[in-house]
Chains A and B, each alone.
Chain A
């Protein structure tokens, strides 16, 4: 639920209670006021009628209400002495409504000029309480609806405006990627809480970016610093192998050490390459023809595939040209092809298929399906190939990520297929 609607849902319950309580209080207050003013009117009528009766004694025999609003009955004296003015609710048959309707009645007693006591009943038509409640109810419902509607509108217009910095930072956070080289900036607002939020998030991210960058820098520096001792070791051993005094066994021992050092060198170079890809240090882009590239790589790997007795087929139903860094394009495709040759069996095959929007590399293999959730992980090795760095596919993946290409792995008919979709 969105923040705006969330407040509205609580507000609607609160408003219902407030409006309901208010309606009850309002109803009784109003009723009280109505009684008060009707009773005042009846009091006034009483005075007027009594005066009128004094001047016109015939009125004393008016025992029915009929067209007027009063009736007079004679009562016995001692009863009259104990009677006080009584205001009461009653009903009266109304001709227009053809029904008994509520009326307010004042019963009072007076002594006429003839010395007899009379009871005077004065009525005044009353509000119909059920109608009043009904009217009030509808009024309240409408009020409630209008209130909610206005809250909704105010929320959407005003709050949206007020909360704009919040949504801005939310949007920025959603699109923020660590290592994307974009700095995180926020706009100044008039709301201090949002400013605090912006500052907090910014400083938090700046710290993270700084840590991330220093870690990247560390990898790069470490790789560079490793180059010199590696160079010294390899070159010294190379010089050593040229000494004629060494026996064949000793030569071979030294050679295996050199091999290990070379493996270390490759690993180092590969890590450096990964870090350079992630640091986006390949800005130059050009139009790369993948058909030409595939043919070139197939020939470059000719000796290796010949040695492994693996045939390379280039299937090119279409031309595939995309703009990217030429070096990365070459690394991308060569890693896939090299893997396809190395993880194969004698008399197996590698098929490179080139379409307008993508490339796929398929190879025969005895290994069975690989775990698609891990094959692109760094240092994930499925085979025990001793010269594999376990970084080849990680590089392919990071190049694909760099350009937003989609890479897909599948295993069908004892064949591994890696396909890259360029858009």
Chain B
């Protein structure tokens, strides 16, 4: 038979997610508690829109980061030259100059800051330019706060964990690079999506995650139109069952009509 009929079951799929984002930057990891309780991570938010800057700052402060902000090009340049940050969120279009020039200045000063560009222009050119100038990630506005949190933690972890890509929360340990989950030091098999969901949840632990944000993160942009994101429920259900069966000290709560919340106490 030349015609090959294939029927896909989601739980048999191990393929790469489709996303217009840079897939290499999609590793969804989180800091272990240990790191930022000992040395609070410093983050600089460079954004000219007051309200947006405030909301980003509030959200990051909830994660116990030390957050500073700059509203224009001069202030931004002033701060990046004077201080050291673990992560810089950089808007491209700033009053007084381009965010890309800030990036250029960082490069000239040979600073190794993690930079995430946040831009209203979701253009390939901007992405390529930014990443070529040494940015670590690119996030197009509007984004979900949970996505921002996950990205920030991801870039910080990548440079500060000495190559150790491990996230720990209570009795749950995740090796992000090898995509392995240990609960009470016992390996627990997860499929790709379950793994991505769990790491995303851990990055945003104790915070309400909008179901659209979760769907967008796991299933990519293609799914954006799909009705009500009800389909994500079955994956959550499986993950929940696995966590419960293995005695993980984590609980995924559904907040009806809104999304989910990972409780880790």
Contact = CB atoms under 8 A, between A and B. Distances in A.
B246 interface: no
B109 interface: no
Interface stretch (A33-41, A153-161, A206-214, A385-393): A385-393
A239 B227 contact: no
Interface residues of A, number: 61
Nearest to A284: B124
Contacts of A234: 142, 144
B142 A265 contact: yes
B123 interface: yes
A419 to B, nearest CB: 17
Given A303-B232, A307-B230, A314 B55 contact: no
Interface string B56-84: 10110010000000000000000000000
A306 B55 contact: no
A241 interface: yes
Interface stretch (B129-137, B165-173, B250-258): B250-258
B6 A255 contact: no
B19 to A, nearest CB: 9
Contacts of B231: 303-304, 306-308
Nearest to B15: A299
Interface of A: 224-225, 227-228, 230-232, 234-236, 238-239, 241-242, 248, 251-252, 254-256, 258-259, 262, 265-266, 269, 272, 276, 281, 295-308, 311-317, 327, 330, 334, 338, 342, 385-389, 392
Interface stretch (B29-37, B156-164, B206-214): B206-214
A311 B223 contact: no
A330 B49 CA distance: 34
A304 B223 contact: yes
B227 A227 contact: no
B141 A315 contact: no
Contacts of A312: 6-8
A339 B59 CA distance: 36
B212 to A, nearest CB: 5
Contacts of A252: 256-258
Contact of B226 (A258, A265, A299, A387): A387
Given A235-B52, A259-B212, A313 B225 contact: no
A389 B225 contact: yes
A338 B222 CA distance: 8
A317 B226 contact: no
A314 B5 contact: yes
A227 B256 contact: no
A316 B124 CA distance: 32
Contacts of B224: 266
A262 B212 contact: yes
Given A241-B258, A317-B3, A232 B52 contact: yes
Contacts of B8: 298-299, 302, 305, 312
Given A251-B258, A303-B234, A338-B222, A313 B227 contact: no
Given A232-B52, A327-B20, A238 B144 contact: yes
B206 to A, nearest CB: 9
A385 B231 CA distance: 16
A303 B145 contact: no
A286 to B, nearest CB: 14
B145 A255 contact: no
A401 to B, nearest CB: 20
